[in-house]
């Protein structure tokens, strides 16, 4: 059976060697006589898997020693609530930058716990730009400043790290973690769902600086407490064991590819090629300011929207799958995370050129 190029925004493609290794180890993980799915999370086999996975993530992201690395459940969406629950620390306000649908979701959830000051918003340009830093209004009395480093739906990505002054900087890195180098030391907290660049859904990585651990509101449920999860090494409740294992295999694969430095170069090449093809065509258009175009999610529209259906159907026939844009914005979107090979992007570009020629 031929595998397709899957441009889904997440869950998304996994590296083929990861799937193959999981297949090989499915019934008998390295002589243990059982599948990883069947192991006790407290047993020596799984403890070894968990430790290796965590150490690999720390190595790949160069996480400084004064950060806790947690592997939690309920998605990045749970973090929208857990962050204010855990780090408001008695303050009544938090600042959020709104660069698209995911920032908007984070803002809505945080509003249940505190006053949200929108420090800057790209809404007036339909989220095709990142507001200039000089125009951001950050309240130094707020508990933290939150932003989304890559907007998965709108295809807007930060190319540098905003200055939060003395406030802890909090970042939703769900759709670009491990795709580019980033200095974790600038952050108070970062979080990311696994299902784009790290593995299957069901695990959320939270990397939180020590001084922000232990500040949770009194009524915070135990499983939502960074302090309690850190103390229990993310095993306060039964973890998503198989997903941790697959996350670990994906990290091993990334290390084998040369780590974040090497994958970043590949991601730059992939994105540049695709944007160039879009910009050179008269049928396709990407609406995002070139200064903040995402390397991970490339939205584009066809000049004649009546061709959308034919485009998607014909792409599917060529093994180029899940190219429809998010239902809230329409058009097309190619998600080209770490596991999307360059050949997949090249196949898409070739198809797009051929479609333009024939329509």
Ligand X SMILES: Cc1ncc(COP(=O)(O)O)c(C=O)c1O
Please report, as residue ranges, which positions from 78 to 107 form the binding site for ligand X (by CB under 6 A).
Answer: 102
Closest CB 65 distance from ligand X, rounded Å: 27
Residue 322 touching ligand X (CB under 6 A):
no
Q: How many residues bind ligand X (CB under 6 A)?
A: 11
Distance, in Å, from the CA atom of 70 to the CA atom of 282, rounded to the nearest integer, reads: 46
When asked if residue 157 is in the footprint of ligand X (CB under 6 A), the reply is no
Beta-carbon count within 10 A of 202 CB: 21
Whether the ω angle into residue 298 lies within 30 degrees of 0, i.e. cis, is no
Residues 6+ apart with CB under 8 A from 31: none
Does position 324 interact with ligand X (CB under 6 A)? The reply is no
User: Do the annotations mark residue 76 as ligand-binding?
Assistant: yes
Active site residue 102: yes
122 lies in the binding site for ligand X (CB under 6 A): no
| 76 forms part of the interface with ligand X (CB under 6 A) | yes
**Does 196 qualify as catalytic in the annotation?**
yes
Catalytic residue among 29, 54, 136, 196: 196
Give the x/- contact pattern for ligand X in 176-195, rule: CB under 6 A. Answer: -----------------x--
Give the C-alpha separation, 256 to 268, whole Å: 19
Secondary structure (DSSP) of 13-47: ---HHHHHHHHHTSSSSTTSSS-GGGS-TTSHHHH
Does the annotation mark 136 as catalytic?
Answer: no
Query: Using the rule CB under 6 A, is 314 a contact of ligand X?
Result: no
Residue 152 interacting with ligand X (CB under 6 A): yes
* 238 appears as a binding residue in the annotation: yes
Three-state DSSP state, 193: strand
**Minimum distance between the CB of residue 10 and ligand X, rounded to whole angstroms?**
5
Q: Out of 172, 244, 253, 270, pick the active-site residue.
A: 172
Catalytically annotated residue among 29, 56, 102, 244: 102
Q: DSSP 3-state assignment of 91?
A: coil
Q: Does 174 bind ligand X (CB under 6 A)?
A: yes
Annotated binding site for L-glutamate: 42
Annotated binding site: 42, 76-77, 102, 152, 172, 195, 237-238
Annotated binding site for pyridoxal 5'-phosphate: 76-77, 102, 152, 172, 195, 237-238
């Amino acid at each position: 059976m031929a595998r397709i190029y899957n441009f889904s925004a997440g869950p998304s493609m996994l590296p083929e060697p990861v799937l193959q290794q999981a297949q090989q180890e499915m019934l008998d993980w390295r002589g243990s006589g059982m599948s990883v799915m069947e192991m006790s999370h407290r047993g020596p086999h799984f403890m070894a898997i968990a430790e290796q996975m965590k150490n690999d993530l720390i190595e790949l992201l160069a996480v400084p020693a004064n950060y806790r690395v947690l592997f939690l459940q309920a998605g990045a969406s749970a973090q929208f609530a857990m962050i204010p629950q855990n780090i408001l620390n008695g303050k009544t306000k938090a600042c959020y930058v709104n660069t698209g649908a995911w920032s908007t979701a984070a803002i809505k959830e945080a509003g249940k716990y505190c006053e949200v000051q929108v420090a800057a918003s790209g809404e007036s340009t339909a989220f095709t730009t990142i507001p200039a830093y000089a125009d951001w209004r950050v309240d130094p009395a707020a508990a933290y400043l939150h932003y989304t480093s890559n907007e998965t739906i709108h295809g807007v990505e930060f190319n540098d790290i905003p200055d939060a002054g003395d406030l802890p900087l909090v970042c939703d890195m769900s759709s670009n973690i491990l795709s580019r180098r980033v200095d974790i030391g600038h952050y108070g907290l970062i979080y990311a769902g696994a299902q784009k660049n790290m593995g299957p859904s069901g695990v959320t990585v939270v990397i939180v600086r020590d001084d922000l651990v232990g500040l949770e509101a009194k009524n915070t449920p135990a499983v939502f407490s960074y302090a309690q999860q850190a103390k229990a090494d993310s095993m306060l409740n039964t973890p998503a064991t198989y997903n941790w294992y697959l996350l670990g295999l994906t990290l091993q694969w990334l290390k084998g590819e040369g780590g974040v430095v090497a994958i970043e170069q590949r991601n730059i090449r992939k994105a540049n090629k695709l944007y160039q093809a879009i910009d050179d065509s008269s049928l396709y258009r990407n609406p995002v300011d070139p200064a903040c175009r995402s390397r991970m999610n490339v939205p584009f529209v066809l000049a004649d929207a009546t061709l959308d259906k034919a485009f998607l159907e014909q792409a599917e026939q060529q093994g180029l799958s899940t190219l429809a844009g998010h239902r809230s914005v329409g058009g097309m979107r190619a998600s080209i995370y770490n596991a999307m090979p360059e050949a997949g992007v090249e196949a898409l570009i070739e198809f797009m050129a051929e479609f333009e020629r024939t329509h």
